[in-house]
Chains A and B, each alone.
Chain A
Amino acid sequence: MCGIAGCTEDPEGRAVRAMCATLRHRGPDDEGVHTDAAGGVSIGARRLAIMDLPGGHQPLCNEDGTVWVAFNGEIYNHPKLREDLRRRGHTFSTNADTEVLVHLYEEYGEAMVHTLEGMFAFAIWDRRAARLLLARDRFGEKPLFVHEHDGELLFASELTSLLEVRPALRELDPYAVDAFFVFAYVPGPDTIVSGVRQLPPGHLLSWERGAASSRERSWWTPPQVGVRRSESFASVAAEAKLLLDESVRTRMVADVPVGVFLSGGVDSTLVAVTAAEASSQRLKTFTVGYDTGAVNETERARAVAERLGSDHHEVTLTQADVAERAPAVLAALDQPLADHAAIPLHALSEFARPRVTVALGGEGADELFGGYPRYRWLERARRLQSALPDVAVRSLAGALRQSAKLGPIERASTRLAPTPVLERNLDWVTSERRHRREALYGPRLTQLDRGHVLASLATRAGELDGGTAARWLMHLDQVHYLPDDVLVKTDRASMLVSLEIRTAFLHAGLAELAGSLDTSMHLAGAGKALVHAMLPRDIIPTTHFARYRKTAFRVPAAEWLRGPLAPVLRSQLERGTIYSEGFFDRQAAGRLVREHAAATHDHSDQLWPLLSFGLWADRFHGLDEA
């Protein structure tokens, strides 16, 4: 785990050193910069030492010094790759996983990425070909931001690093702000500023000196053709378990202590069970709870830990802690992110860090294995819609809306309304924030094309292409919500305290298997049927699955916004740059804050994005002023 940076017009490495300095939290143990004065190119890395603690200095090179690499991430299958490469005559000078990259590049060129099982973003400088190759892992676990200008390339693991050396880029993109408010995250490949983009997950970027522009191409996308087959569920579940076992076993290899983040949900429980099976030592498990609100999953996590006999650790995120931690974390995030779970994840990472350097997590299982209930609901709604005449559907939806005050019926009307499935899904996951923009937006955002968000979402979603609505939405979540929210949260919240989270479900073979199955197989029973099938019955009884369905670390956000974060909200209203700069309307936001504080309404779905963006923007503009 590290941070990397590079520049193609930096023969002395000054810009790269400056960028590396901003990445210290990602890699506190070491820093290195390689400069090729003749080529004008510099690449650098900050390193969190996990493999080959003394020998993994970066950037490192091949035998004759013609290929250099700066690498962020982990290559879980590096021992196997090393063995293959040695057999082919390559000589290694370190035991670090980084070194396999230069030799793989020599052996396979760009196709090397297909050999890698892991999470990564790396830059390879090929001096002889005067060529720079950037690559990002399949799911987007590790970030990579890119700025191109006049044929020159600048890149880094975090946006903040690029802005450090190119202050002129600190111009917020109003469309990105609009998308952020709707989604609660900034959808890639765009970023919150207009001059910087992200290399998308599963993509390569090749830059050559003298070429008009760089060449970017996809090298892997999540498969999404599920077909009904004669093979038994048991055989598929057995294959999935085999792949998960391999994934967990390889992810537990490290020269530092490894633990598991156990939320008490099905996914992290399965990871913990599998890790306990694979470990010869007593497993360390960690969970987080709260001192307010109805959300608390520590008991379930404790029960699982007891059954596993793990060395279990719990931390309580108190309201006092939230008052200090939340503003600091939300402001420090690289891009604005309004995922509540970033706060407990940061607290848990900080709590676990003195005991372990690496923690396994269950991220990605919901997206790969159909864990969200809306997949089934929207599939049903689509079937119903196609079975009934249009007029009947409209009448039904209209009648349901008439009785909308009944709560559950309001939800049903939303789910059954005759709107395209993509919009229905969007409104479901975003609490209909796109419909609330008019009231909240300030002059900087009011002139925007309101259809832009939906249009760009449709582009990312691609075509339904004959598959089920559930398959389409699962794929969309795999290329949108997973890389741009879940994995951003995981990477940034843990990296702020120099802890590495490894995701057990984000394994290429497992994802390809999941993507090749008919959605009915995933959505059988309570959903996420394969995950349930992989879990030993003595850990969670089958009859209790529904109770364990919730995943990740849930958060009492509404209570926090009325309690420890209420002063921050008020302060934002008074002095926040998002209001003074005209992005949001102070009066409208003030009304939401008052209603929420009085507990007459729950506006946390709107207030959390406002708070997150506000705190982030204050730091951003503070940088600007500096």
Chain B
Amino acid sequence: MDSMRRNGSRPGARPRLLIVTPDFPPAPGGIQVVAHRLAAGIAGMEIEVIAPDSPGAAQFDAASGLCVRRVRGGGMLRGGRNALLNLVALAHALRFRPDVTLSAHIVASPAAAAIRRLLGARTVQYFHAEEIGAKPRLAAFAARHADDSIAVSAYTAGLIAEVAPSAQRVHVIANGADIPGDASPRAVDRPTIVTIARVEERYKGHDVMIRALALVLAKVPDARWVVIGEGSLRPGLEQLARSYGVADAVRFLGAVADDERDAWLARAHVLAMPSRLPAGQFAGEGFGIAYLEAAAYGKPVVAGNVGGAVDAVIDGETGLLIDPTDPLAVAEAITKLLGDGELAARLGAAGQTRAQQFAWPKVVARVEALLLAGVGSSPAGGEAPAPEAGRASP
């Protein structure tokens, strides 16, 4: 029995896609961006999204025109919220009868697996990175119960292979970038380093940035570091900046609107986010959309030479990859880019050219092709694009 017959034949209708995600705008974050760009960009499918409620969600959904079912789990612990998300997704699927379920995060994989079993809907599972290290058993379950899996980088694909060695159909499709209409640099009075990341996970390297900044200021006394992103680590980092005597050179902006973030990218001289591999089983940066976003503005980046960042940044061509645990190395890379305008411009220009290849429409098209590849045949038997080896491309 093929999936169309199981779900009721609808000749001529667009295939139905159910996106189940624990992260969706207006909440900030990389996974949120991925889920949103796919929901907004896939044109050949009828799409519904199951996502948690969050402050400002109603206005966001109304403005976006997307069909988003919000799950209210306020006051619940994270585990309870995820369980509720899965239950609501399953209940909704019984009515919506999707042809394909896209699980944007492994915590949504139980619902996707159940929908696959009950309705025969094809399942595609997204993998980022950190969640694989944090929940390896769930990640293995998700990989086993998906028809196809998407890894956002070669690094992530390697993590999947570690927890689910039998997972066969893993496709590396890198995250995308929004290409700005106007990427011209804006005048700025001080050498400016920007970091864009939620201030929630240690591995993003804000702490190393503070240690490095003390050394950067020895060489570039008027440099400043602008931190975009909010999170529970912020008070501690603000205190750490005071402890290191660099507080006057740091601005924690918190979460900002997209246009303000873009304005800072236009002003920045360098984007630095030295993401490292967390200790133990915790996997860190899967790709790092922020690197591409900065590249789209023609800015050179400083990134860790580990994890998914090595797919997002080409060392010496679009940015500098350094040991992210070493403040001296971070400081040296930043200082070099602040002090050598020619080098910064060359890396920035190369990054900008490369970012075009990662424009969201291209990434979305690739994901859409994968989603549709199995529709019309048996759930596990569809032909999908061949897995990609080596560095990710859109």
Known: A108-B215, A111-B215, A235-B279. A224 touches B232 (CB 8 A): no
In the complex, what's the smallest C-beta–C-beta distance from B111 to chain A, in angstroms? 22
A114: contacting residue among B207, B239, B244, B281, CB under 8 A: B244
Q: Determine whether the beta carbon of A232 is less than 8 Å from that of B134.
A: yes
Stretch in contact with the other chain, from A44-52, A56-64, A214-222, A287-295: A214-222
Q: Determine whether the beta carbon of A516 is less than 8 Å from that of B245.
A: no
Q: Determine whether the beta carbon of B244 is less than 8 Å from that of A220.
A: yes
Q: Determine whether the beta carbon of A219 is less than 8 Å from that of B244.
A: yes
When chains A and B are docked, how far (Å) is the Cα of A396 from the Cα of B300?
Answer: 65
B240: contacting residue among A217, A219, A223, CB under 8 A: A223
Which 3 A-B pairs have CB atoms at the shortest separation, nearest pair first?
A238-B280, A111-B218, A238-B279
Which residue from chain A places its CB closest to the CB of B234 in the assembled complex? A227
Q: Determine whether the beta carbon of B240 is less than 8 Å from that of A114.
A: no
When chains A and B are docked, how far (Å) is the Cα of A115 from the Cα of B326?
Answer: 10
Interface residues of B in 213-251 (CB under 8 A from A): 214-215, 217-219, 232-233, 235-236, 238-240, 242-245
Interface residues of A in 56-108 (CB under 8 A from B): 80-81, 84, 107-108
In the complex, what's the smallest C-beta–C-beta distance from A327 to chain B, in angstroms? 42
B243: contacting residue among A223, A240, A242, CB under 8 A: A223
Is there a chain A Cβ closer than 8 Å to B78's Cβ? yes
Find chain A residues with CB under 8 A from B235 CB: 225, 227
Is there a chain B Cβ closer than 8 Å to A515's Cβ? yes
Is there a chain B Cβ closer than 8 Å to A9's Cβ? no
In the complex, what's the smallest C-beta–C-beta distance from A194 to chain B, in angstroms? 30
When chains A and B are docked, how far (Å) is the Cα of A516 from the Cα of B328?
Answer: 22
Which residue from chain A places its CB closest to the CB of B235 in the assembled complex? A225
Is there a chain A Cβ closer than 8 Å to B200's Cβ? yes
When chains A and B are docked, how far (Å) is the Cα of A235 from the Cα of B276?
Answer: 14
When chains A and B are docked, how far (Å) is the Cα of A237 from the Cα of B278?
Answer: 11
Is there a chain B Cβ closer than 8 Å to A150's Cβ? no
Q: Determine whether the beta carbon of B282 is less than 8 Å from that of A238.
A: yes
Known: A218-B245, A231-B201. A109 touches B236 (CB 8 A): no
When chains A and B are docked, how far (Å) is the Cα of A217 from the Cα of B134?
Answer: 42
Q: Determine whether the beta carbon of A229 is less than 8 Å from that of B233.
A: yes
Find chain A residues with CB under 8 A from B239 CB: 223-225
Q: Determine whether the beta carbon of A228 is less than 8 Å from that of B215.
A: no
Q: Determine whether the beta carbon of A512 is less than 8 Å from that of B280.
A: no
Known: A115-B328, A225-B236, A516-B233. A239 touches B202 (CB 8 A): yes
Q: Determine whether the beta carbon of A235 is less than 8 Å from that of B282.
A: yes
Q: Determine whether the beta carbon of B245 is less than 8 Å from that of A227.
A: no
Interface residues of A in 232-265 (CB under 8 A from B): 232, 234-235, 237-242
Q: Determine whether the beta carbon of A239 is less than 8 Å from that of B328.
A: no
Is there a chain A Cβ closer than 8 Å to B374's Cβ? no
When chains A and B are docked, how far (Å) is the Cα of A109 from the Cα of B282?
Answer: 37
18 contacts between A and B (CB under 8 A): A80-B326, A80-B328, A108-B215, A111-B215, A114-B211, A114-B214, A115-B327, A115-B328, A223-B243, A225-B236, A227-B232, A229-B200, A234-B280, A235-B280, A238-B280, A241-B279, A242-B279, A515-B236
When chains A and B are docked, how far (Å) is the Cα of A231 from the Cα of B207?
Answer: 16
Which residue from chain B places its CB closest to the CB of A238 in the assembled complex? B280
Which residue from chain B places its CB closest to the CB of A218 in the assembled complex? B245
Is there a chain B Cβ closer than 8 Å to A11's Cβ? no
Interface residues of B in 276-317 (CB under 8 A from A): 278-282
When chains A and B are docked, how far (Å) is the Cα of A111 from the Cα of B215?
Answer: 6
Interface residues of A in 186-230 (CB under 8 A from B): 217-230
Interface residues of A in 310-338 (CB under 8 A from B): none
Find chain B residues with CB under 8 A from A228 CB: 232
Residue of B233, B236, B282 ringed by the most chain A CB atoms within 10 A: B236
Please, what's the 1-or-0 string for B193-205, where 1 marks a CB less than 8 Å from any CB in chain A? 0000000111000
A223: contacting residue among B200, B201, B236, CB under 8 A: B236
Find chain A residues with CB under 8 A from B328 CB: 80-81, 84, 115
Known: A225-B236, A515-B236. A235 touches B278 (CB 8 A): yes
In the complex, what's the smallest C-beta–C-beta distance from A260 to chain B, in angstroms? 23
Which residue from chain B places its CB closest to the CB of A239 in the assembled complex? B279
In the complex, what's the smallest C-beta–C-beta distance from B88 to chain A, in angstroms? 22
When chains A and B are docked, how far (Å) is the Cα of A84 from the Cα of B217?
Answer: 18
Find chain A residues with CB under 8 A from B280 CB: 234-235, 237-239, 241-242
Find chain B residues with CB under 8 A from A229 CB: 200, 232-233
Residue of A109, A229, A232 ringed by the most chain B CB atoms within 10 A: A229
Find chain B residues with CB under 8 A from A515 CB: 236
Known: A115-B327, A219-B245, A227-B232. A239 touches B240 (CB 8 A): no
Find chain A residues with CB under 8 A from B214 CB: 111, 114
In the complex, what's the smallest C-beta–C-beta distance from A139 to chain B, in angstroms? 13
Please, what's the 1-or-0 string for B77-116, where 1 marks a CB less than 8 Å from any CB in chain A? 0100000000000000000000000000000000000000
Q: Determine whether the beta carbon of B327 is less than 8 Å from that of A114.
A: yes
When chains A and B are docked, how far (Å) is the Cα of A13 from the Cα of B332?
Answer: 39
Q: Determine whether the beta carbon of B233 is less than 8 Å from that of A114.
A: no
When chains A and B are docked, how far (Å) is the Cα of A223 from the Cα of B239?
Answer: 6
In the complex, what's the smallest C-beta–C-beta distance from B230 to chain A, in angstroms? 13
Known: A217-B245, A238-B282. A230 touches B240 (CB 8 A): no
In the complex, what's the smallest C-beta–C-beta distance from A1 to chain B, in angstroms? 25
Q: Determine whether the beta carbon of A227 is less than 8 Å from that of B236.
A: yes
Which residue from chain B places its CB closest to the CB of A467 in the assembled complex? B235
Residue of A112, A223, A229 ringed by the most chain B CB atoms within 10 A: A223
Given contacts A84-B332, A223-B243, A232-B134, 16 further A-B contacts (CB under 8 A): A108-B219, A111-B214, A114-B214, A217-B245, A222-B243, A223-B239, A225-B238, A225-B239, A227-B232, A227-B236, A228-B232, A229-B200, A235-B282, A238-B278, A241-B279, A512-B240
When chains A and B are docked, how far (Å) is the Cα of A227 from the Cα of B239?
Answer: 12
In the complex, what's the smallest C-beta–C-beta distance from A515 to chain B, in angstroms? 7
Q: Determine whether the beta carbon of A239 is less than 8 Å from that of B233.
A: no
When chains A and B are docked, how far (Å) is the Cα of A129 from the Cα of B40?
Answer: 63
Q: Determine whether the beta carbon of A230 is less than 8 Å from that of B232.
A: yes
In the complex, what's the smallest C-beta–C-beta distance from A448 to chain B, in angstroms? 34
Known: A108-B215, A108-B218, A111-B217. A516 touches B327 (CB 8 A): no
Q: Determine whether the beta carbon of B282 is less than 8 Å from that of A220.
A: no
Find chain B residues with CB under 8 A from A234 CB: 280
Which residue from chain B places its CB closest to the CB of A109 in the assembled complex? B218
When chains A and B are docked, how far (Å) is the Cα of A611 from the Cα of B4?
Answer: 92
When chains A and B are docked, how far (Å) is the Cα of A77 from the Cα of B233?
Answer: 27
Interface residues of B in 169-219 (CB under 8 A from A): 200-202, 207, 211, 214-215, 217-219
Which residue from chain B places its CB closest to the CB of A232 in the assembled complex? B134
Q: Determine whether the beta carbon of B236 is less than 8 Å from that of A226.
A: yes
Residue of B233, B238, B244, B332 ringed by the most chain A CB atoms within 10 A: B244
Q: Determine whether the beta carbon of A516 is less than 8 Å from that of B218.
A: no
Find chain B residues with CB under 8 A from A240 CB: 279
Find chain B residues with CB under 8 A from A223 CB: 236, 239-240, 243
Residue of A81, A110, A232, A239 ringed by the most chain B CB atoms within 10 A: A239
Which residue from chain A places its CB closest to the CB of B323 in the assembled complex? A80
When chains A and B are docked, how far (Å) is the Cα of A53 from the Cα of B332?
Answer: 32
Find chain A residues with CB under 8 A from B202 CB: 231, 239
